[in-house]
Amino acid sequence: MVTGTARVRILIIEDDRKLAAALRAGIEAVGYEVLTAASGEEGFFLVHSVRPDLLVLDLTLPSRNGLDILQQIRAEGIDIRVLILTSHDTVEDRVAGLKTGADDYLGKPFSFPELVARIDALLRRFAATTPSTLLTIADLAIDTRARTATRSGRKLDLTAREFDLVLYLAENHGRTVSREMLARDVWRETSRYTPIDNVIDVQIARLRRKIDDPFQVKLLQTIRGMGFSLQETQP
């Protein structure tokens, strides 16, 4: 099993809200981060905005069916493992799903331990065939697959949240990232009725102590009144 420290994200597109909630609770319990969507349109939006590692996809969905979503994902070349989980479980259904681009297919009703085993197997297969992806900014190197970071060859001791934060800043290298963006995309907070600006500022301060304080060149910049930026030179 891949543990939660790996921050593997799984998206479940399932219109049966009770089943979706049960799947989310069970899969989170074995160490994965899980998001859910109740319609095809919502799910397709999350595929683009969140870029999960694995998609658990029902076929019968409101507004857009699962095969249509899968076909467009593959047409766009989005790199994601897809496990179809559906009551449509004839041989013809399975063949259609696999031909459209599914990596695995499981019919309902199903055994939850088997579902988890199939998820684990798909993610192991993906990890074994995917090379490390390295992002570099000056002497900061971030391995997105191994989820490690170094500066000047020195390994940085980052928590899972700190790694997510520095990765997001690196992916937006040179651009200013607002607190609203961090709340939405890193903390997954969509409601501003419960602002987490203080939490973000504390995490930024902790990250800065680890990636900047021991080094002469500072990379993590605070853009007054706007947010933060990861860049080689002072703004």
CATH 3.40.50.2300 residue ranges of the chain are 4-129
Determine the Cα–Cα distance for residues 77 and 93; give it in Å rounded to an integer: 23
Determine the Cα–Cα distance for residues 166 and 121; give it in Å rounded to an integer: 29
Contact present, 107 and 119 (Cβ < 8 Å): no
Q: What are the pLDDT digits (tens) for 205-221?
A: 999 999 999 999 999 99
Contact present, 40 and 66 (Cβ < 8 Å): yes
- Mean pLDDT across 2-19: 76
The pLDDT confidence band at residue 234, using thresholds 50, 70 and 90, is low
CATH 3.40.50.2300 given to domain 4-129: yes
CATH 1.10.10.10 residue ranges of the chain are 134-230
Please check the confidence at residue 6 and state whether its pLDDT lies above 50: no
Q: What are the pLDDT digits (tens) for 135-152?
A: 899 999 998 877 889 999
* Range from 2-11, 93-102, 104-113, 222-231 carrying the lowest mean pLDDT: 2-11
Of 146 and 94, the structure prediction assigns the larger pLDDT to: 94
Determine the Cα–Cα distance for residues 7 and 185; give it in Å rounded to an integer: 14
- The whole-number pLDDT of residue 150 equals 94
DSSP at 6: G
Q: What are the pLDDT digits (tens) for 185-205?
A: 888 776 655 678 889 999 999
Is the alpha carbon torsion for 29, 8, 63, 69 positive or negative?
negative
Instruction: Read off the amino acid at residue 109.
Output: P
Determine the Cα–Cα distance for residues 6 and 8; give it in Å rounded to an integer: 5
**Cα 170 to chain center, whole Å?**
15
Reported in sequence order, the residue ranges of the chain that DSSP labels E, i.e. its strands, are 9-13, 33-37, 54-57, 81-86, 104-107, 134-137, 140-143, 148-151, 154-155, 220-223, 227-230
Q: What are the pLDDT digits (tens) for 98-133?
A: 888 999 999 888 899 999 999 998 888 776 555 557
The pLDDT confidence band at residue 10, using thresholds 50, 70 and 90, is very high
Q: What are the pLDDT digits (tens) for 27-74?
A: 999 888 999 999 988 998 899 888 889 999 999 888 788 899 999 988
Q: What are the pLDDT digits (tens) for 163-187?
A: 989 999 998 888 899 998 898 888 8
Number of H helices, E strands in the chain: 8, 11
- The whole-number pLDDT of residue 92 equals 85
Q: Given 2.60.40.10, 3.40.50.150, 3.40.50.620, 1.10.10.10, which CATH number is that of 134-230?
A: 1.10.10.10
- The whole-number pLDDT of residue 93 equals 83
Contact present, 79 and 47 (Cβ < 8 Å): no
- The whole-number pLDDT of residue 7 equals 63
- The whole-number pLDDT of residue 1 equals 42
